[in-house]
Amino acid sequence: MATHLLRRRVSQILSQAIPCPTSPLSVGRAFSSATAPIRATLFPGDGIGPEIAESVKQVFRGAEVPIEWEEHYVGDQIDPRTQSFLTWESLESVRKNRVGLKGPMATPIGKGHRSLNLTLRKELNLYANVRPCYSLPGYKTRYDDVNLITIRENTEGEYSGLEHQVVRGVVESLKIITRQASLRVAEYAFHYAKTHGRERVSAIHKANIMQKTDGLFLKCCREVAEKYPEITYEEVVIDNCCMMLVKNPALFDVLVMPNLYGDIISDLCAGLIGGLGLTPSCNIGEGGIALAEAVHGSAPDIAGKVNLQIYL
């Protein structure tokens, strides 16, 4: 499923004139007249990553998808240019190719540098995380009618990482919301809704308590909503949203939210359809960069016996 998103992005890059194809076959046909294969960056990652990456390559070869993979591995030394194990070349490759597929990367704990996922996010300015959640026919869970997309702001909010100890026993953590980032993710959400024929966008917030921060987020969403009058816009408080999601997930269509709520809600939705092994995800960056990824971890304990669904 992540590569389904990837194929859409790839076709967009190839020719803006051709509308988004909805089936893999039509993608194949559209490409058959292309001159050169698309280059995409592949980060196999750690743990179960390399096996999964191998399987993805096999499937793509079998389906004759014209993608040429540029593999990059995480180094074992800190690259001073990026302050992490990811090398400058890897990042440049993603910036150049503008599409990528990332396997799970384990951040070594306690080494005192920032996590690999965080590095990718900050360096490539991946501002929106898109996670479609569809009930898979054939895999029965308690919820059969899930069909929603969660779009989460990926750069700021509660995950700014700005914490400090005021005095012993008192810690403050900053949650930052900016107009620029909120507008950006709201724009992407409505654009996504429009191009994929979605009818409703719901902004999830807790503005009754956090009035200025979530209030600013909501104001930005409202501004963008005015530019898309054909899409219904609503605002839902997060506690109501959680309850409605577990009672009746069919009530929601596209959800747009700040960072922390997005994290929790997108994992909740993944749980509704059957777990992290079945959920694809794509990070969208400035300038049209798309990095599709697996949402699960590297699971070193099960390297060797792995669920491939989410990559396909």
Stretch that binds another protein, among 27-35, 84-92, 172-180, 280-288 (CB under 8 A): 172-180
Among 91, 254, 257, 272, binds another protein (CB under 8 A): 272
d(CA 68, CA 60): 10
Question: Is 200 among the residues that bind another protein (CB under 8 A)?
Answer: no
d(CA 13, CA 306): 32
Question: In the 8-state DSSP scheme, what is residue 110?
Answer: T
Tell the residue number behind the tokens 């988004």, with chain if given.
20
Q: What angle do CA 251, 257, 259 make, to 5 degrees?
A: 140
Among 78, 264, 303, 306, binds another protein (CB under 8 A): 264
Stretch that binds another protein, among 25-33, 70-78, 259-267, 303-311 (CB under 8 A): 259-267
Q: x-or-dash pattern for another protein, window 216-255, by CB under 8 A?
A: x-x----------------x-xxxx-xxxxxx--------
* Region 117-146 residues binding another protein, contact defined as CB under 8 A: 141-143
d(CA 89, CA 205): 39
Taking alpha carbons only, the member of 155, 148, 97 closest to residue 123 is: 155
Stretch that binds another protein, among 10-18, 47-55, 91-99, 271-279 (CB under 8 A): 271-279
Please check whether residue 4 is in contact with residue 280, taking contact to mean a CB–CB distance below 8 angstroms. yes
Among 17, 19, 64, 163, binds another protein (CB under 8 A): 163
Taking alpha carbons only, the member of 262, 249, 256, 246 closest to residue 295 is: 262
d(CA 175, CA 295): 24
Stretch that binds another protein, among 37-45, 56-64, 189-197, 200-208 (CB under 8 A): 200-208
d(CA 288, CA 198): 21
Among 21, 28, 66, 275, binds another protein (CB under 8 A): 275
Among 212, 230, 287, 304, binds another protein (CB under 8 A): 212
d(CA 136, CA 128): 24
Please check whether residue 291 is in contact with residue 283, taking contact to mean a CB–CB distance below 8 angstroms. yes
Judged by CB under 8 A, how many residues of this single chain contact another protein? Answer: 58
Measure the N-to-C terminal CA separation of the chain; round to a whole number of Å: 5
Among 177, 193, 254, 282, binds another protein (CB under 8 A): 177
Stretch that binds another protein, among 22-30, 89-97, 163-171, 193-201 (CB under 8 A): 163-171
Among 95, 206, 306, 312, binds another protein (CB under 8 A): 206
Question: In the 8-state DSSP scheme, what is residue 236?
Answer: E
Which one, 28 or 271, has the nearer CB to another protein? 271
Cα 93 to the center of its chain, rounded Å: 19
Among 55, 125, 178, 309, binds another protein (CB under 8 A): 178
Question: Is 301 among the residues that bind another protein (CB under 8 A)?
Answer: no
Copy the structure tokens of residue 280.
């694809």
Look at phi and psi of residue 125 and say left if phi exceeds 0, alpha if psi is from -120 to 50, else beta. Answer: left
Stretch that binds another protein, among 25-33, 72-80, 215-223, 304-312 (CB under 8 A): 215-223
Interface positions with another protein (CB under 8 A): 141-143, 158-159, 161, 163-165, 168-180, 206-216, 218, 235, 237-240, 242-247, 260, 263-268, 270-272, 274-276
